[in-house]
A and B are shown apart, each in its own frame.
Chain A
């Protein structure tokens, strides 16, 4: 009896150990792969920076990318910005009304938009609209040997394909963020003042009093990093595309998902950093985050 119990115990322990080793092995592989990819992306970004500062990009490669990133993204960013402003007004109005603070709605909507929702929304739209397309285009070029053709004719693919896309994203995302902020404020104002009947003067006064220049700066500053992330991750995914239509599809999906995750992670880090700067410059205002 005793021997049987011992053998059952040993068998269970063995199985548990084997299971633990399998799980640890799987997670270890995921971590190693993640670190490898991060290192690879960093090297890719470094090569891009070196090419950007050592060789001027050509106008004919810059302009189509500026057009695709800036002009073609503007309507969708403006539209989503407007809807988010309206939704914020609808969601907040009844909560604030119960506390008798509905006149402060302008401050809440404007603050949320310029600090957080405007830049994140513009970046998300850009990652979905432009980032996936970048990965798909570069991936297709990789699969159909067009990147090899570029190299064979003496063009560097990082300089020719990545630098213009990076510059377009970094330089134009602040403009898209400003558009998302503006249209969100307009949408929020419309629902608060026209639909819910909040006093126009009170709404504007509260917006002005609570939202300062640093809040606008925070949103714009973060957007530069978001733009850089979208361009680097999307181009990297395109360059490392697997063969075939499925490979291109996967690259496009991975470009969006990874850009989005990195935007949110960067948002936390940048908010902590900017919060630190704010309270270093104006130590008496409000509660410090960290």
Chain B
């Protein structure tokens, strides 16, 4: 057996406490709105996990809470065994050099050209010894299949696919241990979506990076992930149910018994539209001022 594969298997078999990233009873709440409730996920080193789920289920919130961009209401987020919410600002800054984040719309800085955008993490954390900033930028640019002539351009001069690839090059510049992708194929044509999928796979092969891909593109999830986790909106869960509806391999995804997971994987609306319409009617009936209005009209009659 290939040595790399053996070591990878050994890494995957380590207990959850040795996971690179782990959440314990993670809760995120805004006022009365519960986004995530008691979500516990452990991700071993080197694994690529796709987090799927319908809009509003808290996928992006989960991803952002892993980086400390959104504070947890309760629960813990552990990176390499350290609770990120207990770290000082300096410690957190140092830790972030081990993360790479590819944003949904790339989030390139408008005020900078492409070269400055890709070089930004190097300015914050320094250039690795024995390397030059220019070499690193050009190498990452080649890896994502972009020509050198994009370097002096502004983000607004690039297409959506090119911007995503620049975002990936920027996230890779410090060779992070954990790469987080927020809907990397959203808004791209099928060919460009697959280019991004291939880049995610290549990046994983080349840098042995742990990746978390938030997506609702099932083709992408099945292609790039070793493991798929499906989150479900907290407001629509049955009492006592976990927000993680599915946690398994992409192959298991096709044989799951849960109708909600099956519907999502196949992209079938099922009873969803009727549920939405019914919830609107319930909402109308439950609204107190409408009760008053109806009562007043009846009294007038």
Residues of A in contact with B (beta carbons under 8 Å apart): 64, 137, 140-141, 144-146, 148-149, 151-156
Contact = CB atoms under 8 A, between A and B. Distances in A.
A148 B61 CA distance: 12
Nearest to A137: B111
B93 A146 contact: no
> B interface, by DSSP: helix, strand, loop or mixed?
mixed
Contacts of B93: 154, 156
B260 to A, nearest CB: 29
Contacts, number: 52
Nearest to A151: B69
A64 B93 CA distance: 25
A154 B104 contact: no
Contacts of B101: 148-149, 152-153
B159 interface: no
B105 interface: yes
A146 B110 contact: yes
Nearest to A51: B89
Contacts of B125: 154
Interface of B: 64, 67-69, 89, 93-94, 96-97, 99, 101, 103-105, 107-111, 120-121, 124-125, 170
Top 8 nearest A-B pairs (CB, nearest first) are: A149-B107, A145-B107, A152-B101, A154-B96, A154-B124, A154-B93, A153-B121, A145-B103
Contacts of B121: 153-154
A148 B103 contact: yes
A62 to B, nearest CB: 14
20 contacts: A140-B110, A141-B109, A144-B105, A144-B107, A146-B110, A148-B69, A148-B103, A149-B103, A149-B107, A149-B108, A151-B68, A151-B96, A152-B96, A152-B101, A153-B96, A153-B120, A153-B170, A155-B120, A155-B124, A156-B89
A160 B84 CA distance: 22
A64 B99 CA distance: 29
Contacts of A144: 105, 107, 110
Contacts of B96: 151-154
A140 B97 CA distance: 25
Given A145-B105, A153-B124, A154-B125, 7 more contacts: A144-B107, A145-B103, A145-B104, A148-B103, A149-B101, A152-B99, A153-B120
Contacts of A145: 103-105, 107
A137 B112 CA distance: 13
